[in-house]
A = this chain, B = another copy of it.
Protein backbone atom coordinates (compact mmCIF):
# COMPACT_ATOMS: atom_id res chain seq x y z
CA UNK A 1 0.00 0.00 0.00
CA UNK A 2 1.37 3.30 -1.02
CA UNK A 3 1.03 6.07 1.55
CA UNK A 4 -0.71 9.12 0.08
CA UNK A 5 1.10 12.37 0.78
CA UNK A 6 -0.27 15.83 0.13
CA UNK A 7 2.25 18.07 -1.65
CA UNK A 8 2.96 21.46 -0.12
CA UNK A 9 3.76 24.51 -2.26
CA UNK A 10 7.48 25.41 -2.30
CA UNK A 11 6.97 28.82 -0.67
CA UNK A 12 4.88 27.24 2.11
CA UNK A 13 7.52 24.58 2.70
CA UNK A 14 10.25 27.23 2.91
CA UNK A 15 8.14 29.21 5.35
CA UNK A 16 7.46 26.17 7.50
CA UNK A 17 11.18 25.42 7.78
CA UNK A 18 12.02 29.03 8.54
CA UNK A 19 9.51 29.08 11.40
CA UNK A 20 11.87 26.64 13.08
CA UNK A 21 15.08 28.54 12.39
CA UNK A 22 17.85 28.12 14.93
CA UNK A 23 19.81 30.72 16.86
CA UNK A 24 23.37 31.44 15.81
CA UNK A 25 26.31 31.76 18.19
CA UNK A 26 29.35 34.02 18.28
CA UNK A 27 33.04 33.26 18.45
CA UNK A 28 36.22 35.24 17.88
CA UNK A 29 38.79 34.42 15.21
CA UNK A 30 42.06 36.06 14.27
CA UNK A 31 41.78 38.67 11.52
CA UNK A 32 44.03 36.37 9.46
CA UNK A 33 41.27 33.74 9.46
CA UNK A 34 38.31 36.08 9.17
CA UNK A 35 37.85 36.23 5.39
CA UNK A 36 34.73 34.33 4.23
CA UNK A 37 33.36 34.12 7.77
CA UNK A 38 30.18 36.00 8.75
CA UNK A 39 30.21 39.03 11.05
CA UNK A 40 28.32 38.44 14.28
CA UNK A 41 28.19 42.15 15.11
CA UNK A 42 27.89 45.37 13.13
CA UNK A 43 31.30 46.72 12.17
CA UNK A 44 31.31 50.25 13.58
CA UNK A 45 33.91 52.96 13.08
CA UNK A 46 35.40 54.02 16.42
CA UNK A 47 37.30 56.89 14.80
CA UNK A 48 37.30 59.02 11.66
CA UNK A 49 39.23 57.80 8.62
CA UNK A 50 41.45 59.62 7.94
CA UNK A 51 41.86 60.56 11.58
CA UNK A 52 43.53 63.82 10.50
CA UNK A 53 43.88 65.96 7.38
CA UNK A 54 46.72 64.41 5.48
CA UNK A 55 48.64 64.87 2.29
CA UNK A 56 47.36 62.88 -0.69
CA UNK A 57 50.68 63.28 -2.53
CA UNK A 58 54.36 63.78 -2.09
CA UNK A 59 55.00 67.49 -2.11
CA UNK A 60 55.08 70.61 0.03
CA UNK A 61 52.58 71.74 2.66
CA UNK A 62 51.91 75.45 2.24
CA UNK A 63 49.57 78.29 3.21
CA UNK A 64 47.42 78.77 0.10
CA UNK A 65 47.12 82.53 0.69
CA UNK A 66 50.90 82.86 0.15
CA UNK A 67 50.52 81.50 -3.38
CA UNK A 68 47.52 83.57 -4.42
CA UNK A 69 49.36 85.82 -6.86
CA UNK A 70 52.16 83.58 -8.11
CA UNK A 71 52.45 82.65 -11.79
CA UNK A 72 55.02 81.66 -14.36
CA UNK A 73 55.89 85.30 -14.78
CA UNK A 74 55.82 85.88 -11.07
CA UNK A 75 57.15 82.71 -9.38
CA UNK A 76 57.12 82.50 -5.63
CA UNK A 77 60.00 81.42 -3.45
CA UNK A 78 59.23 79.62 -0.17
CA UNK A 79 61.61 78.63 2.59
CA UNK A 80 61.49 74.92 3.50
CA UNK A 81 61.60 74.68 7.28
CA UNK A 82 60.88 71.00 7.94
CA UNK A 83 60.40 67.59 6.35
CA UNK A 84 57.79 65.07 7.50
CA UNK A 85 57.49 61.50 6.40
CA UNK A 86 54.29 59.58 6.69
CA UNK A 87 53.76 58.67 10.33
CA UNK A 88 55.67 61.70 11.56
CA UNK A 89 54.35 65.02 12.78
CA UNK A 90 55.61 68.55 12.17
CA UNK A 91 56.29 70.24 15.48
CA UNK A 92 57.38 73.60 14.07
CA UNK A 93 55.09 76.49 13.50
CA UNK A 94 54.96 77.43 9.85
CA UNK A 95 55.14 81.17 9.17
CA UNK A 96 54.22 83.21 6.08
CA UNK A 97 56.17 82.17 2.97
CA UNK A 98 57.39 79.01 4.59
CA UNK A 99 56.74 75.44 3.45
CA UNK A 100 57.19 71.91 4.81
CA UNK A 101 58.30 68.95 2.70
CA UNK A 102 55.55 66.33 3.18
CA UNK A 103 55.07 62.73 2.09
CA UNK A 104 51.90 60.97 0.98
CA UNK A 105 49.81 60.11 4.02
CA UNK A 106 51.62 62.44 6.43
CA UNK A 107 49.59 64.71 8.69
CA UNK A 108 49.21 68.26 7.41
CA UNK A 109 50.91 70.78 9.73
CA UNK A 110 48.15 72.77 11.48
CA UNK A 111 49.47 76.08 10.08
CA UNK A 112 49.14 74.85 6.46
CA UNK A 113 45.99 74.39 4.38
CA UNK A 114 47.11 72.84 1.09
CA UNK A 115 49.79 70.75 -0.57
CA UNK A 116 51.69 71.54 -3.75
CA UNK A 117 52.67 68.40 -5.63
CA UNK A 118 56.35 67.62 -5.99
CA UNK A 119 55.99 67.83 -9.77
CA UNK A 120 54.91 71.47 -9.48
CA UNK A 121 57.89 72.86 -7.60
CA UNK A 122 61.52 73.56 -8.38
CA UNK A 123 63.74 72.65 -5.48
CA UNK A 124 66.90 74.57 -4.72
CA UNK A 125 69.17 74.02 -1.76
CA UNK A 126 72.40 75.29 -0.43
CA UNK A 127 74.16 73.67 2.51
CA UNK A 128 72.13 75.37 5.18
CA UNK A 129 69.23 76.73 3.23
CA UNK A 130 66.43 74.96 1.36
CA UNK A 131 64.01 76.73 -0.92
CA UNK A 132 61.35 75.88 -3.46
CA UNK A 133 59.99 77.91 -6.32
CA UNK A 134 56.31 77.65 -7.27
CA UNK A 135 54.73 79.19 -10.34
CA UNK A 136 51.03 78.52 -9.91
CA UNK A 137 48.56 79.02 -7.06
CA UNK A 138 46.99 76.20 -5.09
CA UNK A 139 43.48 76.16 -3.67
CA UNK A 140 42.82 75.83 0.02
CA UNK A 141 42.36 72.07 0.66
CA UNK A 142 43.99 70.98 -2.58
CA UNK A 143 45.83 67.64 -2.64
CA UNK A 144 44.60 66.70 0.80
CA UNK A 145 42.64 63.80 2.23
CA UNK A 146 40.33 65.25 4.83
CA UNK A 147 39.61 63.97 8.30
CA UNK A 148 36.57 61.69 8.08
CA UNK A 149 36.23 61.81 4.29
CA UNK A 150 36.47 58.03 4.06
CA UNK A 151 34.62 57.02 7.22
CA UNK A 152 33.05 59.02 10.03
CA UNK A 153 33.33 57.89 13.62
CA UNK A 154 30.20 56.07 14.77
CA UNK A 155 29.13 54.96 11.29
CA UNK A 156 27.99 51.36 10.84
CA UNK A 157 30.25 50.24 8.01
CA UNK A 158 29.19 46.64 7.60
CA UNK A 159 26.08 44.95 8.94
CA UNK A 160 26.06 41.90 11.18
CA UNK A 161 25.60 38.76 9.08
CA UNK A 162 27.69 39.99 6.15
CA UNK A 163 30.22 37.60 4.68
CA UNK A 164 33.68 39.07 5.21
CA UNK A 165 35.46 39.96 1.96
CA UNK A 166 38.94 41.48 1.47
CA UNK A 167 37.55 45.04 1.63
CA UNK A 168 35.89 44.28 4.95
CA UNK A 169 39.16 42.79 6.22
CA UNK A 170 40.78 46.14 5.40
CA UNK A 171 38.16 47.91 7.52
CA UNK A 172 38.59 45.42 10.35
CA UNK A 173 42.33 46.12 10.32
CA UNK A 174 41.75 49.87 10.20
CA UNK A 175 39.63 49.69 13.33
CA UNK A 176 41.94 47.41 15.23
CA UNK A 177 39.99 44.15 15.15
CA UNK A 178 42.85 41.78 15.85
CA UNK A 179 40.16 39.32 16.93
CA UNK A 180 37.02 39.42 14.84
CA UNK A 181 33.54 38.56 16.16
CA UNK A 182 32.05 36.05 13.74
CA UNK A 183 29.23 33.54 13.70
CA UNK A 184 30.24 30.14 14.96
CA UNK A 185 29.95 27.58 12.18
CA UNK A 186 26.88 25.41 12.76
CA UNK A 187 27.71 21.70 12.95
CA UNK A 188 25.75 19.70 10.39
CA UNK A 189 25.77 15.91 10.62
CA UNK A 190 25.38 13.84 7.47
CA UNK A 191 24.18 10.26 7.05
CA UNK A 192 23.77 8.50 3.72
CA UNK A 193 21.20 5.76 3.28
CA UNK A 194 20.83 3.04 0.68
CA UNK A 195 22.24 -0.47 0.55
CA UNK A 196 23.23 0.18 -3.08
CA UNK A 197 25.85 2.66 -1.92
CA UNK A 198 29.59 2.08 -1.90
CA UNK A 199 31.94 4.59 -0.34
CA UNK A 200 34.37 6.51 -2.50
CA UNK A 201 37.28 4.19 -1.73
CA UNK A 202 35.37 0.95 -2.39
CA UNK A 203 35.62 -1.12 -5.57
CA UNK A 204 32.53 -1.19 -7.74
CA UNK A 205 30.22 -4.21 -7.47
CA UNK A 206 27.39 -5.29 -9.69
CA UNK A 207 24.17 -3.47 -8.91
CA UNK A 208 25.89 -0.96 -6.67
CA UNK A 209 26.95 2.66 -7.14
CA UNK A 210 29.25 4.93 -5.26
CA UNK A 211 27.78 7.32 -2.73
CA UNK A 212 28.05 10.78 -4.25
CA UNK A 213 25.29 12.60 -2.38
CA UNK A 214 26.95 12.68 1.02
CA UNK A 215 30.17 14.16 -0.39
CA UNK A 216 28.23 16.67 -2.46
CA UNK A 217 26.10 17.75 0.47
CA UNK A 218 29.17 18.14 2.67
CA UNK A 219 30.60 20.52 0.06
CA UNK A 220 27.30 22.39 -0.03
CA UNK A 221 27.37 22.65 3.77
CA UNK A 222 30.91 24.05 3.63
CA UNK A 223 29.97 26.59 0.99
CA UNK A 224 26.93 27.64 2.98
CA UNK A 225 29.34 28.49 5.82
CA UNK A 226 28.83 25.55 8.18
CA UNK A 227 30.89 22.55 9.19
CA UNK A 228 29.98 19.05 8.04
CA UNK A 229 30.47 15.89 10.08
CA UNK A 230 30.11 12.65 8.18
CA UNK A 231 28.61 9.76 10.11
CA UNK A 232 28.77 7.30 7.23
CA UNK A 233 26.00 5.08 5.95
CA UNK A 234 22.89 4.09 7.86
CA UNK A 235 22.28 0.37 7.83
CA UNK A 236 19.00 -0.75 6.29
CA UNK A 237 17.85 -1.91 9.72
CA UNK A 238 15.39 0.28 11.56
CA UNK A 239 16.60 -0.08 15.11
CA UNK A 240 20.29 0.31 14.29
CA UNK A 241 19.59 3.37 12.15
CA UNK A 242 17.39 4.86 14.83
CA UNK A 243 20.12 4.41 17.44
CA UNK A 244 22.76 5.94 15.20
CA UNK A 245 20.64 9.00 14.41
CA UNK A 246 19.58 9.46 18.03
CA UNK A 247 23.19 9.45 19.14
CA UNK A 248 24.30 11.79 16.35
CA UNK A 249 21.60 14.33 17.23
CA UNK A 250 23.40 15.07 20.50
CA UNK A 251 26.51 16.32 18.75
CA UNK A 252 25.11 18.42 15.90
CA UNK A 253 22.87 21.42 15.30
CA UNK A 254 21.22 19.93 12.24
CA UNK A 255 21.12 16.37 10.95
CA UNK A 256 20.91 15.67 7.22
CA UNK A 257 20.22 12.36 5.57
CA UNK A 258 20.28 11.54 1.88
CA UNK A 259 17.83 8.96 0.56
CA UNK A 260 15.27 6.81 2.35
CA UNK A 261 12.50 9.41 2.53
CA UNK A 262 10.23 8.08 -0.17
CA UNK A 263 7.27 5.77 0.32
CA UNK A 264 9.03 2.52 -0.64
CA UNK A 265 9.44 -0.50 1.59
CA UNK A 266 13.14 0.25 1.97
CA UNK A 267 12.62 3.89 2.93
CA UNK A 268 13.33 3.88 6.62
CA UNK A 269 13.37 7.57 7.41
CA UNK A 270 9.60 7.96 8.00
CA UNK A 271 9.77 5.18 10.60
CA UNK A 272 12.89 6.61 12.19
CA UNK A 273 11.27 10.06 12.53
CA UNK A 274 8.29 8.38 14.22
CA UNK A 275 10.51 6.44 16.56
CA UNK A 276 12.55 9.53 17.42
CA UNK A 277 9.33 11.38 18.16
CA UNK A 278 10.27 14.07 15.64
CA UNK A 279 7.53 16.33 14.31
CA UNK A 280 7.50 16.01 10.50
CA UNK A 281 6.84 19.47 9.04
CA UNK A 282 6.24 18.08 5.56
CA UNK A 283 7.21 15.07 3.48
CA UNK A 284 5.96 16.07 0.05
CA UNK A 285 6.60 19.32 -1.80
CA UNK A 286 5.11 20.38 -5.14
CA UNK A 287 8.53 20.57 -6.78
CA UNK A 288 10.70 18.59 -9.20
CA UNK A 289 13.23 17.36 -8.43
CA UNK A 290 13.06 16.82 -4.69
CA UNK A 291 9.32 16.30 -4.08
CA UNK A 292 10.09 13.79 -1.31
CA UNK A 293 12.24 16.27 0.65
CA UNK A 294 11.25 15.90 4.28
CA UNK A 295 11.94 18.20 7.20
CA UNK A 296 11.32 17.29 10.82
CA UNK A 297 11.90 18.98 14.18
CA UNK A 298 13.15 17.34 17.34
CA UNK A 299 14.05 19.11 20.58
CA UNK A 300 14.61 22.40 18.76
CA UNK A 301 16.91 20.82 16.20
CA UNK A 302 16.16 20.20 12.55
CA UNK A 303 16.33 16.97 10.57
CA UNK A 304 16.53 17.27 6.81
CA UNK A 305 15.59 14.18 4.86
CA UNK A 306 16.95 14.90 1.41
CA UNK A 307 16.22 12.76 -1.60
CA UNK A 308 18.63 10.04 -2.68
CA UNK A 309 18.57 11.34 -6.24
CA UNK A 310 21.59 13.62 -6.67
CA UNK A 311 19.83 16.54 -8.34
CA UNK A 312 16.91 16.32 -5.95
CA UNK A 313 19.30 16.18 -3.03
CA UNK A 314 21.18 19.22 -4.31
CA UNK A 315 18.07 21.34 -4.84
CA UNK A 316 16.51 20.25 -1.55
CA UNK A 317 19.61 21.41 0.31
CA UNK A 318 19.83 24.78 -1.42
CA UNK A 319 16.14 25.62 -0.94
CA UNK A 320 15.58 24.43 2.61
CA UNK A 321 18.81 23.71 4.49
CA UNK A 322 20.98 26.58 3.26
CA UNK A 323 18.70 29.39 4.54
CA UNK A 324 18.62 27.77 7.98
CA UNK A 325 22.43 27.70 8.03
CA UNK A 326 22.67 31.29 6.80
CA UNK A 327 20.21 32.40 9.47
CA UNK A 328 22.52 30.84 12.07
CA UNK A 329 25.26 32.96 10.47
CA UNK A 330 23.11 36.05 11.19
CA UNK A 331 22.33 36.70 7.54
CA UNK A 332 19.39 38.99 6.91
CA UNK A 333 19.04 37.53 3.42
CA UNK A 334 19.54 33.82 3.99
CA UNK A 335 18.04 32.69 0.69
CA UNK A 336 19.89 32.52 -2.60
CA UNK A 337 19.36 35.50 -4.86
CA UNK A 338 16.67 35.28 -7.51
CA UNK A 339 16.95 37.18 -10.78
CA UNK A 340 15.08 37.48 -14.06
CA UNK A 341 16.61 35.78 -17.08
CA UNK A 342 15.74 34.96 -20.67
CA UNK A 343 15.22 31.29 -21.55
CA UNK A 344 17.68 30.03 -24.14
CA UNK A 345 15.65 26.91 -24.96
CA UNK A 346 12.08 25.69 -25.22
CA UNK A 347 10.69 23.62 -22.36
CA UNK A 348 7.69 22.10 -24.11
CA UNK A 349 6.57 19.70 -21.39
CA UNK A 350 4.19 20.60 -18.59
CA UNK A 351 4.50 19.49 -15.01
CA UNK A 352 2.00 19.94 -12.22
CA UNK A 353 4.89 20.78 -9.88
CA UNK A 354 7.32 23.71 -9.96
CA UNK A 355 10.52 22.65 -11.67
CA UNK A 356 14.04 23.73 -10.72
CA UNK A 357 16.20 23.13 -13.77
CA UNK A 358 19.94 22.86 -13.15
CA UNK A 359 21.12 25.70 -15.35
CA UNK A 360 23.92 27.76 -16.68
CA UNK A 361 23.16 31.49 -16.45
CA UNK A 362 25.28 33.76 -18.65
CA UNK A 363 25.49 37.50 -18.98
CA UNK A 364 25.66 38.48 -22.64
CA UNK A 365 25.73 42.17 -23.51
CA UNK A 366 24.49 43.01 -20.03
CA UNK A 367 21.45 40.71 -20.17
CA UNK A 368 21.08 37.48 -18.20
CA UNK A 369 20.22 34.30 -20.13
CA UNK A 370 19.60 30.83 -18.77
CA UNK A 371 19.62 27.32 -20.20
CA UNK A 372 19.92 23.79 -18.83
CA UNK A 373 23.41 22.72 -17.76
CA UNK A 374 22.78 19.11 -18.73
CA UNK A 375 20.09 16.46 -18.87
CA UNK A 376 17.12 17.41 -16.72
CA UNK A 377 16.38 14.25 -14.76
CA UNK A 378 16.52 13.99 -10.98
CA UNK A 379 18.96 11.08 -11.06
CA UNK A 380 21.54 12.97 -13.11
CA UNK A 381 24.82 13.98 -11.45
CA UNK A 382 26.68 15.60 -14.31
CA UNK A 383 24.27 18.54 -14.76
CA UNK A 384 24.96 19.77 -11.23
CA UNK A 385 28.69 20.17 -11.75
CA UNK A 386 28.14 22.62 -14.55
CA UNK A 387 25.25 24.54 -13.00
CA UNK A 388 25.51 28.06 -11.65
CA UNK A 389 21.78 28.63 -11.36
CA UNK A 390 18.43 26.92 -11.01
CA UNK A 391 15.81 28.00 -13.52
CA UNK A 392 12.37 28.10 -11.93
CA UNK A 393 9.57 26.82 -14.16
CA UNK A 394 6.24 27.20 -12.35
CA UNK A 395 3.97 24.15 -12.42
CA UNK A 396 0.79 23.72 -14.41
CA UNK A 397 1.86 26.00 -17.26
CA UNK A 398 1.74 24.65 -20.79
CA UNK A 399 5.43 24.64 -21.55
CA UNK A 400 7.88 27.54 -21.85
CA UNK A 401 9.31 29.09 -24.99
CA UNK A 402 12.82 30.23 -25.81
CA UNK A 403 12.99 34.00 -25.26
CA UNK A 404 10.50 34.03 -22.40
CA UNK A 405 11.49 35.74 -19.17
CA UNK A 406 11.75 33.42 -16.19
CA UNK A 407 13.19 33.57 -12.69
CA UNK A 408 16.49 31.93 -11.83
CA UNK A 409 18.06 31.21 -8.48
CA UNK A 410 21.75 32.11 -8.63
CA UNK A 411 23.98 29.55 -6.96
CA UNK A 412 26.60 30.87 -4.63
CA UNK A 413 29.82 29.42 -5.86
CA UNK A 414 29.59 30.62 -9.41
CA UNK A 415 30.57 34.25 -9.36
CA UNK A 416 33.25 33.90 -11.98
CA UNK A 417 30.92 32.39 -14.51
CA UNK A 418 28.73 35.36 -15.37
Residues of A within 8 A of B (CB): 1-2, 31-32, 34-36, 47, 49-52, 56, 58, 85-89, 103-107, 118-119, 123, 145, 149-151, 157-158, 163-178, 194-197, 200-202, 204, 206-220, 222-223, 230, 236, 262-266, 308, 310, 314, 333, 336-337, 339-342, 363, 365-368, 375, 377, 379-387, 405, 410-418
Contacts and interface: CB of A to CB of B under 8 A. Distances in A.
A372 to B, nearest CB: 14
Given A49-B382, A87-B207, A177-B200, A219 B165 contact: yes
A56 B311 CA distance: 13
Contact of A415 (B34, B173, B208, B415): B415
Contacts of A158: 385
A194 B87 CA distance: 8
Nearest to A387: B167
B405 A410 contact: no
Nearest to A218: B32
Contact of A264 (B118, B308, B341, B377): B118
Contacts of A339: 363, 366, 418
Contacts of A310: 170
A31 B133 CA distance: 67
Top 6 nearest A-B pairs by Cβ distance? Answer: A87-B196, A167-B384, A167-B385, A86-B196, A415-B415, A340-B366
Contacts of A194: 86-87, 105
Contacts of A365: 340
A358 B314 CA distance: 34
Contacts of A212: 169-171, 173-174
A208 B51 CA distance: 9
A96 to B, nearest CB: 24
Contact of A266 (B103, B145, B218, B387): B103
B201 A416 contact: no
A207 B381 contact: no
A418 B418 contact: yes
Given A169-B215, A170-B213, A195-B85, A104 B206 contact: no
25 contacts: A2-B118, A32-B230, A49-B209, A50-B209, A50-B379, A51-B204, A85-B195, A86-B195, A87-B196, A87-B197, A105-B194, A105-B209, A151-B381, A157-B385, A166-B216, A169-B215, A170-B215, A172-B215, A173-B211, A173-B215, A175-B210, A176-B204, A339-B366, A411-B415, A413-B415
A161 to B, nearest CB: 12
A204 B310 CA distance: 54
Nearest to A50: B209
Contacts of A363: 339-340, 368
A165 B266 contact: no
Nearest to A379: B145
Contacts of A308: 104-105
Nearest to A310: B170
